[in-house]
Each structure stands twice: as structure tokens, then as C-alpha cells.
A and B are shown apart, each in its own frame.
Chain A
Amino acid sequence: MSGNWVEVCGKDEIDEEDVIRFDHDGRTFAVYRSPDDKFFATDGLCTHEHIHLADGLVMDEIIECPKHNGRFNYKTGEAKGAPVCVNLKIYPVKIEDGAVFISL
């Protein structure tokens, strides 16, 4: 179910194959731009130890947590092996007028 669309940033403020942190209403999200120029959003904290994923490394469709190298597929939210075992929530993303919006 989609809720409110919230503007995150201009689309060019996220580099290709990169991630930024977005804080809104007391919550933290991670917003990604894939190597094939698509945008995705997940919860911003690793499910293993509440570390900001936006400090981590994006490789293809994987975000790797900066602390303990837990990996998730940022397109699906799926945990990809130890030490993480709980998936990330994902959120719909749209681009309008050159800006990135996520649906909360």
C-alpha cells in the first residue's frame, strides 16, 4: 500500500551505483541509484545492528553494510547472508520533474 509521496532530492544528487541517507519524520531511509539508472529505497538502518546503510558500498544491486559487511539486495530488500538474516523494507520510488520521491 502506498502512502504519502515525499520528495527526497534531485535525481542527480545521487551518483550512479550509489546511495544516500534520507531522514524524514523521525525515520531513516536509504535511497539508491542503480548502475542502470533506476532508483530504489529501503529502510536506512541495517537489520543486524542499526548502522546507517548509506555509509555502505553499493555494488550492482547489493548494498553492503559498512560495519559488519552484511549484504542486502536493495531492489528486493532481501538479506543475502550472515550476519544479517532479517530483510529490509522497501518503498516505491518515482521520479518527477528531475526529483526523487519515495512513498511512505
Chain B
Amino acid sequence: MAHFVILGAGECGARAAFALREKGFDDEITLVGAEPLHPYERPPLSKAGSADASGPKFIAAVEKYAENGIRLLTGLEARDLDTASKSVTLSDGTSLSYDKLLLATGAAARSFPGAPEGSSHIRSLRTHHDAAALRNVMKPGKHIAIIGGGFIGLELAATARRLGAEVTVIEGLERVLKRGVPEEIAHLLTERHRAEGVDIRCGVSITALTEESGKAVIRLSGGEVIEADLALVGIGARPNIEIAESAGLTIENGIAVDTYLQTSAPDVFAAGDCCSFPLPIYGGRRVRLESWRNAQEQGTLAAANMLGLDEAVSSVPWFWSDQYDMTLQISGLADDAATHQRRDLGAGAFILFHLDADGRLIAASGVGPGNAVARDIRLAEMLIAARAHPDPAALAASDIKLKSLLAA
């Protein structure tokens, strides 16, 4: 009887386990997670929609794992991977032999250099446990300093304001959302945060982050000192590659996989936040994506390839963020864009379509209240996947349906 082992019980690992069953795999599946909880969704952790929620949003009820014959081991980490003998040793000393292995180990929050570890006043956000601790401080009369103006930082800023806390955002670069979000959209969100009472400071460097007398203390390069009840460090994530690296797998900004999510070791696959992979839609450019949908899609794709179905990566990257009543959605990678076209959708919602020098649509970024941009971003994604060269004037004309461009 074959035994497939999945290391990492987040979105990616859990989806892979269920996908193996959906695709007809009848033998043994073991899913190993480091957290004590069974797999849950991470996007709600930073978002206002779940700010009052006491419990995590589980991907599936715990009974579903047993019903599907998935052996779920929680609270355990992999300590050693031996690709020659095809075995994994876990933190409790258990050894698992595998026929196929999936590394879905995810990513960990980057810590601030020199900041004290284990401080209850200096935290990051990665787990439900972290989110619960944050919610305890997000209250009127409390001051939260958020270090880093990325998605996590700004979502938490919005959540904290909704819950009545004072918020300061400190960003080292000249603007927030510098990575992957167009300036026009970042500016709009910055203005919205300021209107909601968030103190956003950009282009500010921090010389020290310490805990003193029950406060987080942030010293800025200009000499100013900011005290907060809690400092939330949201300066990105690093892929969890340790076990792969020590087993000798190729690492290249994450665990390097090919277009079938196969690592450099036989019968070992990697998927989700922990791996870098070639993206055919952008000429095979190697990327690592920290996104919910990527984790989900690659979990399913890894399952197919563990079963020998040879399904190549074909998706278009997609990200979203909720802040106040605004949703931002981005499809594709805009880094190589030469021009963009703006389409206004009414009620302040708009989409920027990013075109490369040849006029190919390579990304679309939209922002607006509720889900105002969702449908057109989804259609843009289909145009990107089709490697379309749409008429720029048609992209900008809001009375021309994007669906008609897809049919063209």
C-alpha cells in the first residue's frame, strides 16, 4: 500500500490531501501540521470581517479528515528528511516512510532585526494564536504601531481602527504597498487610512525596536520615539525551507520546483508559499507567491502530479486585500508593464490594465467598494491567461464589456 505524506497543514497541504481523495487515490495519506489546530483559513486573521470572531474558520470539519481516510497529525513538525531512504522524522521521534512527499511548509513572518523575541508587546501575525493576541489589544484607548505598510499591515490597521484602537503605520519606503501595487491605488488607500485616523508615516527608518516598561518602544532615525501598547511587525515572510535545505534540495528563493511542482529530489514535491516555480505565462520566470489562491491551486496541482498526472502550472497570480469597505484585487504581475489604461467603474471603483511594450495584457489592478472590481478583474485574468493584446481604448471604455474582448 502506498503512503503519501504531506508536511504542512495549512491551506495548501489540506487542499492537497482532499484533492488526492477526489482524484481517486485510495491508499494512505498522512497530513502533518505544526499547529495544534486542524487546518484553518489564514486570510481572515488580519481582516475586519472576522475581527470579532472567537474561533478560526476551518477549511473542513475535523471529522472530514477521518471520513476521507486522512491521518491528521497536529502539533508536530518535521525534523529530518532523508530522501535516500524516503523517510521523515517528526518532532516526537516518529518516523514516517513515504512513497511520495509533499512539502507544503508555508512561510514564517520575518522578525525585526534586533527586536526581543517572545515579547508580548512586539508581535507578528501568522497564526490564529497570533490573531487572538492582537485582538486582545485592538481596543479603544490602546495604541498599536504597525511596522510595514504591506497588505498585512494595512489590513490590520483597518481592523484595529474599526475596533477603536489608535494606529500608527511605519513604512521604510517612500510609500505603502510598494511591492506589486500601483502607486495610484496605494495613494487612494493611504488617503482612506488617513481619513479613518491612521497615522501613516512613509520613508521613515527605525533604529531600534525594544520593549520597555510594558510598552513597545520604536526609535526612529530622526530621533523621535513612538510608544505603543503593541508593535506589530509586518515586514514580509520567509519561506520555510529548513527541512528541504538540510536534505540537500535545491533552494532558489524557496524550495525550487519545476512546472510540475517536482523538487530536485525524486518523489518529493513542494507547493504554496514555500516554493519557487516557473510561471509559463511570463516566459518561465521563476516566482514565489504568498497568496491564498496560489496555495489552494498548487495543493490541488501537487496532488495531481503526485498521482503522475503531469499537470503543469498554468495559473495567473491573483491577490486580494480588504481594508474598511474597500477591496483591492490584482491579477497578474505588473512589474514589466510599459503602459496602463484606466477604466472607471463608478462609485470610486477603477481598474488599471497593465500592458507590456508589445501591447499584451500582463496584469490588472482594481480597487473599489465591496466587490465592485471583482468581475472585471476575473475577466482580465482570463484575458491575461489567453495572452491577449486587447485594444487599449476598449480597455479604458467602461461601456464596452470586457467579456466581449474575451470573445474577440
Binding site for B on A (CB under 8 A): 17, 49, 51-52, 55-57, 64, 66-69, 82-83, 85
Contacts and interface: CB of A to CB of B under 8 A. Distances in A.
Contact of B374 (A67, A82, A85): A67
A57 B374 CA distance: 8
Given A82-B296, A82-B300, A66 B374 contact: yes
A66 B368 CA distance: 13
Interface in B1-45: 15, 18, 41
B378 interface: yes
Contacts of A17: 403
Nearest to A64: B378
A72 to B, nearest CB: 15
A56 B15 contact: no
- Interface size class on chain B is 20 to 34
B247 interface: no
B15 A82 contact: yes
B15 A66 contact: no
A51 to B, nearest CB: 7
B379 to A, nearest CB: 7
Contacts of A51: 371
Given A69-B293, A82-B15, A82-B296, A52 B371 contact: yes
Contacts of B292: 68
B387 interface: no
Contacts, number: 40
A29 B292 CA distance: 28
Nearest to B18: A82
B370 interface: yes
A56 B378 CA distance: 9
Interface string B362-382: 000000001110110011000
A24 B296 CA distance: 35
Contacts of B375: 55-57, 66
Nearest to A51: B371
B225 interface: no
B296 A67 contact: no
Contacts of A55: 370-372, 374-375
B60 interface: yes
Q: Most chain-B CB neighbours within 10 Å: which of A51, A56, A68?
A: A68
Given A55-B374, A66-B375, A68-B292, 4 more contacts: A55-B371, A56-B374, A57-B379, A69-B378
Contact of A66 (B60, B318, B371): B371
A66 B378 contact: yes
Nearest to A50: B49
Nearest to B320: A67
Nearest to B43: A68
Contacts of B378: 56-57, 64, 66, 69
A56 B373 CA distance: 10
A28 B296 CA distance: 29
A64 B379 CA distance: 11
13 contacts: A55-B370, A55-B371, A55-B372, A56-B371, A57-B375, A66-B374, A66-B375, A66-B378, A67-B320, A67-B327, A68-B292, A69-B378, A83-B41
Q: Most chain-A CB neighbours within 10 Å: which of B300, B320, B371?
A: B371
Q: Most chain-B CB neighbours within 10 Å: which of A52, A64, A69?
A: A69
A11 B371 CA distance: 25
Contacts of B379: 57
Contacts of A57: 374-375, 378-379
A57 B376 CA distance: 8
Contacts of B371: 51-52, 55-56, 66-67
A85 B320 CA distance: 21
A51 B378 CA distance: 16
Contacts of A67: 320, 327, 371, 374
Interface in B349-408: 370-372, 374-375, 378-379, 403
Nearest to A17: B403
